[in-house]
Structures are given as C-alpha cells and as structure tokens.
Structure 1
Amino acid sequence: MKPTFTGAAKWVREPGVALNGVKFEPETAEMVICDSGENFRVEAVQDLINLGLDFNNAHVQPTGEYHYHGISEALVEAFDSGEDLVHLGFAKDGFPIYYSKSGAFKPSFQIIDGIYSATDCTYSNPKTSMDVELENDEFDGTFVSDWEYVKGLGDLDECNGVYVNGGYVYMVTDSYPYVGRCLMGEFEEERHPAGPPPGQGGRGQRPPRGQGQNQRR
C-alpha cells in the first residue's frame, strides 16, 4: 500500500522497524522524581544513568525484545549499497527510514537555555536507587524536557523527516533526536494504558557514575 502523508505530526512509541526485523524505540521509561514536584523523563543518550545499551545503541527490554534507541553502525554496514543514503527500514506509516553516511540532513532540535530549580530528586529502578542533584544545573540534554524543536533550524522536520527526490522519508541521525518520536503519515495509533511519552531507554557501555549516592549532571 502507498503511504499517505498528512503533515500532522503524531507521537508514536515505536516509530518503525529495521529491515532486519528489530524495532526502533527511541524514548525511555526512566524517570527522575523530585520531592519539589517535578518529574523528568530520562533521554536514551545521556551521561547520567547507565541503562545498558550495547554497541548497536540497542538493548533488551524486560520482555526479551531487542530494540534500537539510535543509529547502529552494524545495521548501516549490513544494508549499505554504496550510496550516501542507506535504507534502514520502514516507519509505521509506511514511509522509508534512511541514514545519511555524510550527515547531509541535520535535525531541527536544540537544548533549551535554562536552569533547573528541582530539589531532592531520585532515580530508581528494580536494581538500584540514587539521589540526583539538579538544583542550579543547566539543561544539558539529559531529559526529554531539555529539548525543543525549532522549525527551520536544520533540514528535518519535528519527526526527523524530509522530502528527498520528491518522496517523504525519515532519517536516523547521529544527533538528537536520533530516531524521530512522531510520524507524519497515516498509521494505526497505539493503545497503551499510559500516555506519551513512554518507552524504554539507555545508552550503551557507559559505566554507572555510582549507586546509592548523590549524582550531579
């Protein structure tokens, strides 16, 4: 079926699937909770928390399902035909997903200029718990809320998509958002108990900065 472009961005937990059958799921379910009332969703690519991604920027969910949070060099190599644009997969709306080896298409996101006022913050999961000191820290991209889309800042739209040779495509990029978190075409929307933005997350092979002790970004 030919995909239908609507131009209306809709959030999606799992935006697409690679040609090798592994899904893309860029966001995380990890939260930093603060007694001052703020909750911050942790980004996949960050230095605060080791969530156990491997060399493919991927890991296994508690369900046993392997998934990508960003670009996989092995995936690019597997489907590299010699052109700059490497076809990696398809999005849920039917449009193709590509990667530019030259970085020809730049995302349109930037870190917001701001300072956190949150206090008494904690990160925990079934294996560990640690205090996180955020007060007076500048936004640095650790959390979803650190980022904003600025139309025209780069080449790509808010879903990391662009028209190439007359057709709409999505790009996996080396910089944020790595994999788009929304789709511009028609697709069957997901039904989950919790609203957006959930997911699974982590960045690979970064040693924990500590467990059960204060952490500062």
Structure 2
Amino acid sequence: MQNPHLVSILSALTLIVACGGGGTNQSATSDGMTSATNEVSAENSGINDSSQTSVDTSANSPNAGTQDVECSYTYDVFNDSASVDMQSWARWSCDGTERTLTANGIPDHSVGTFPNSGNPNTISTQSVSAAFTLNPETTSTSTTMGGPRGVTGYILNGVKIDAGTAGTCSDDGTSCAMAPPMQGSWSIEALGQNSFNFGDDENHAHVQPTGAYHYHGIPEGFVTKLNKGVAMTHIGWAADGFPIYARYGYSDAMDASSEVITIKSSYQLKTTSDLNRADDSLYPMGTFTQDYEYIEGSGHLDACNGRMGTTPEFPQGIYHYFATDTFPFLQRCVNGAL
C-alpha cells in the first residue's frame, strides 16, 4: 500500500532495476516443477520435482579449501509456474583453484505472478557464468557488493543475490523513485517496509528489466525444496568463495552439538531518525537502508551477516554467511578476498 502522504513518486515502473522487493507479496501461481531430466551426480542425488538433496565430504580444517563441498551440484528441471513455464538448470564444478557456475538463471521453485502491479517485468533466461575461489581467505576490510558493484553471490540454483535496491528519496521525501535517476541519497529498502511496492513474491524475489529473477532475502522456495527442516542449510556461495546458510545455525558457533537456533543479524533500527531524513510519519523507520545500524554483539553475526564457526559441510570451522529474517536479509558485503 502506497504511503498516502507521498507528494511525488517517480516510480517509473518500467525502469525498475537491479533491486527491489518490499510492499505487497505476490502469491505463488503454481505448486512448482515437473522434473525433465535428472543429471545429479551420486554425490548430489535426489533432485526431483519436490526436493534437492546434496551430500559431499567435508573440509577438515578451519577455513580450509572448499574443494570437497558441492562440486557436482547439477540439476535440470522444468518449472511449470505460470510466470516461468520453462526449463531451469544449473551446473557447478570444481577444477584446480576455482569453483565455476553456469546456469540459465531460472528459479527451480514456484514463483509469484510476474509482471504484477509493483513489477512490470517478465522472467527470462540469463547467461550466468561465475567463478569462485576454492581457497577463500578473510581480509581485514570488507567489500560492499550488489548492483553495479558486482554480484554478492549465487544460490545453488544459479539465481543471483542482490539485496539492495536502486530506489531513492530526497531529504524531504517529496521526490522518490524506485529506479534511476537518483532522487536523493536515501536508499529505499526492498523488504521490511510498506511504503513502496516492488512486487516481490513469497521468495523475497522479483524481476529486473533484463528478465533476471533475483533474491532480496531468504529464498524460501529453494529452502523448502531442500527439505532439511530446522537445521543448518547450505544454500549458496558468496562472491569471495565462502558458503551461505539459511536462517538456522548452532547456538555455539564452534559446537555442532549445541542447540540449533534462528540466527539473528546484529543490525537494529535506530532509535531516532537521522538528520535531513524525511519525517518518519511520512516514511516509517525501516523504509531506508540508513535507518539501520550495526550494533556489535546485539545478534550473532558481523556487519556482513557472517561469522566463523562449524557447519555440517565444514565441521572444523569456516567463515560463512547467513540469510536472515531481518535486515540485511542477505549480506550486502563480503569479508573475503576477491
């Protein structure tokens, strides 16, 4: 629902780019996928029309190479969602020092209706080709990713992560745009706000003008297909080569026998709005990226939504990221070398 006090919104829906989701969610139009061919290796058997299961050997030392994990994740299924109705495939492989991904960028789970009132774009195939180091290393500084700064990472199904948006507002909030050109320095959030409708679906995803379906938050349909329940669930790889997990982790980061809990980010809404921000009666706190601040120790994760710890795939420990239910939802930066 659009903010009734908005004076001038330059929504330019036909130009929605690089990011966006928030506002009204679209319901799924189909229960999902019809399996066409099953090309999963013995290591990653089990992909069909209802689940994807992958099992690999594990790394044996902290921040060791990732060459023994998900190097043969391959699938090819037909997505019969009304807004897709086409093949979805992704192929991961490891060779030498690199993990490579080739995919067509089509999701392998049910999606919402596209185009819709908040997003005028149609899902189409993409030429996805990416490489990740098999020997990731943390650095002393983080690198902001997303949009023109580069893809933050990919979910195992070959769909990219792009958590931020290109939407902006002026200081007084009278001029806002959900797409370039910029109207000001206040960055509109995709999720967690109701002032702007980016047409995202139940997977916290929507479509760019290029036809690229992409995630702003936890890829719920993909997580459901993995069918691991309340457990640490590996869902993808970040640009720096470190793994990404969804929602759940160990209460003691280095103890796999500790309780599995919902992992919380360490970002909180600011108690007061910044100077020069539009009045929060016009746009409630949480509308803009700048409304959040990182408070070390307030959650389980660092500023890039990651931490060092043990995982099912890396029992001796590795730095890894989390997709969380609250801001930043998916990491906006990486702590590893690029």
TM-score by length of 1: 0.72
Q: CA deviation at 1:114?
A: 1.6
What corresponds to 2:320 in structure 1? 169
Q: CA deviation at 1:163?
A: 1.5
Is the contact between residue 273 and residue 285 of structure 2 (CA under 8 Å) also seen in structure 1? no
Q: CA deviation at 1:105?
A: 1.9
Is the contact between residue 107 and residue 175 of structure 1 (CA under 8 Å) also seen in structure 2? yes
What corresponds to 2:301 in structure 1? 156
What corresponds to 1:112 in structure 2? 270
Equivalence map 1:133-148=2 (5 Å): 134-135=278-279, 137=281, 140-148=285-293
Q: Say which SS state the counterpart of residue 157 (structure 2) adopts.
A: coil
2:79 is aligned with 1:79: no
Is the contact between residue 18 and residue 90 of structure 1 (CA under 8 Å) also seen in structure 2? yes
Is the contact between residue 11 and residue 181 of structure 1 (CA under 8 Å) also seen in structure 2? yes
Q: Say which SS state the counterpart of residue 157 (structure 1) adopts.
A: coil
Paired letter, 1:30: G
Paired letter, 2:237: F
Structure with a larger share of its residues in strand: 1
The two structures, once aligned, show a CA RMSD in angstroms of: 2.3
CA–CA distance in 1 between the matches of 2:200 and 2:188? 14
What corresponds to 2:201 in structure 1? 54
Residues 1-10 or 135-144, more deviating: 135-144
Q: Which consecutive unaligned segments of at least 5 residues does structure 1 have?
A: 120-133, 188-217
Is the contact between residue 97 and residue 172 of structure 1 (CA under 8 Å) also seen in structure 2? yes
CA–CA distance in 2 between the matches of 1:67 and 1:111? 25
Is the contact between residue 247 and residue 263 of structure 2 (CA under 8 Å) also seen in structure 1? yes
Aligned-residue sequence identity (percent) comes to 39
Paired letter, 1:167: I
TM-score by length of 2: 0.48
Aligned residues: 173
Q: CA deviation at 1:97?
A: 0.4
Change (3 A) 1:6 1:143: same
What corresponds to 1:198 in structure 2? none
Q: CA deviation at 1:80?
A: 3.4
Q: CA deviation at 1:64?
A: 1.0
Question: Which of the pair has the greater relative contact order for Cα pairs under 8 Å at 6+ separation?
Answer: 1
CA–CA distance in 2 between the matches of 1:92 and 1:117? 34
Pick the aligned partner of 1:9 from 139, 142, 149: 142
Q: CA deviation at 1:83?
A: 6.1
